[in-house]
Amino acid sequence: MTSGRLRARAYAKVNLDLRVGPRSDDGYHRLSTVLQSVALHDTVTLRAGDGPCRVRCSATGVPSDRGNLVWTAAAALWRAVGRRGDPQGAVVTITKRIPAEAGLGGGTADAVAALPGLCRIWDVSLAPQGLREVAAEVGSDGPFFLVGGTALGLGRGDAVYPLAELSPHWVLIVVPPRGVPTARAYGWLDRDRGRRGRRGRPARHVPPYAGPTLDLAALTNDLEGPVTRRRRELREATRTLRGAGAVVAAMTGSGSAVFGLFTSRARAADAARGAKRPGWRVIVTRTMSREGLARRFWA
């Protein structure tokens, strides 16, 4: 067991590209997605403590203890190292900055960022494959948060392959007051495809690359249509970002946040001023490379 506090940064992600295939027997859709880490992050602080694991977060709407994905991760790790019952002996505190139900992966990022600290506190270790399995139990994006940078996610999004890094960009994230639960966005997609008699095209297993670099003009998100049909204000937000000079403007994941990539901080800041609406959050951040992420623990 370790004494003192351990701290890790949990970086958010955006989906640069998301192609959704049909729903499989396991209830999950097969996908092909290109994920990108961004500098926006939560902070996860861990310390040893007596009794059952505790997970605390003061942000409104974020569950504590077993309702939080950090607890799910702790329970999965506890089982994976051969222990029984509920996880014990750790207190985890989350300082939240990443908006929830926004398609930014915040809850999963926190959970995966807590894993190395839990290993230290419990004095256990897991082989990389075991760690990937624990991360995948937290959520489909879990294994991505072990890798970071620019990466391809296949299967249900959990089979992750690092890609050549996207060149550095400024990222403007625009978050409407209402979130979208992931399962609901996929449900809308199925319903819309059913109406049109389409089962969904098989997810493309080749990311949209032009030579060694991502083809930014070819990026798409299959969930964007189904979500923006029900949340018209998101379509308006992407249009605003495009009009303000974003090289790419799209919804991230299952929404409800939309993002724009910009080549300069000044342009992103200008676009942020134009995108602000009452009750909406606008966040200017940067893309994060895998090299930058290597310093994420014990920051």
Residue ranges in contact with ligand C5P by CB under 6 A: 28-29, 31, 139-141, 156-157, 182-183, 186
Contact 157, 31 (CB under 8 A): yes
Residue 219 or 223 with smaller CB distance to ligand C5P: 223
In the complex, the smallest distance separating the C-beta of residue 105 from ligand C5P, rounded to whole angstroms, is 9
Residue 81 or 154 with smaller CB distance to ligand C5P: 154
In the complex, the smallest distance separating the C-beta of residue 140 from ligand C5P, rounded to whole angstroms, is 4
* Interatomic CA distance for residues 18 and 282, integer angstroms: 23
* Interatomic CA distance for residues 134 and 137, integer angstroms: 5
Q: If we measure between CA atoms, which residue out of 184, 185, 112 comes closest to residue 148?
A: 112
Q: Choose the catalytic residue: 13, 96, 110, 222.
A: 13
Residue 117 or 139 with smaller CB distance to ligand C5P: 139
Contact 87, 53 (CB under 8 A): yes
* Interatomic CA distance for residues 231 and 180, integer angstroms: 10
Is 222 annotated as catalytic? no
Residue 42 or 165 with smaller CB distance to ligand C5P: 42
* Interatomic CA distance for residues 111 and 113, integer angstroms: 6
Task: Report in angstroms the alpha-carbon separations of 119 from 19, 77, 113, 239, 279.
Answer: 35, 8, 11, 45, 40
Side chain identity, residue 94 = I
What tokens appear for 167 in the block? 């060149």
In the complex, the smallest distance separating the C-beta of residue 284 from ligand C5P, rounded to whole angstroms, is 26
* Interatomic CA distance for residues 115 and 269, integer angstroms: 35
Q: Choose the catalytic residue: 17, 110, 141, 158.
A: 141
The torsion defined by the Cα of 266, 99, 169 and 146, in degrees rounded to 10, comes to 160
What tokens appear for 113 in the block? 């960022």
Is 141 annotated as catalytic? yes
Residue 45 or 182 with smaller CB distance to ligand C5P: 182
* Interatomic CA distance for residues 32 and 62, integer angstroms: 29
* Interatomic CA distance for residues 148 and 14, integer angstroms: 11
Residue 37 or 240 with smaller CB distance to ligand C5P: 37
In the complex, the smallest distance separating the C-beta of residue 126 from ligand C5P, rounded to whole angstroms, is 20
In the complex, the smallest distance separating the C-beta of residue 26 from ligand C5P, rounded to whole angstroms, is 9
In the complex, the smallest distance separating the C-beta of residue 181 from ligand C5P, rounded to whole angstroms, is 8
Tokens 């189904």 belong to residue: 226
Q: Which residues are annotated as catalytic?
A: 13, 141
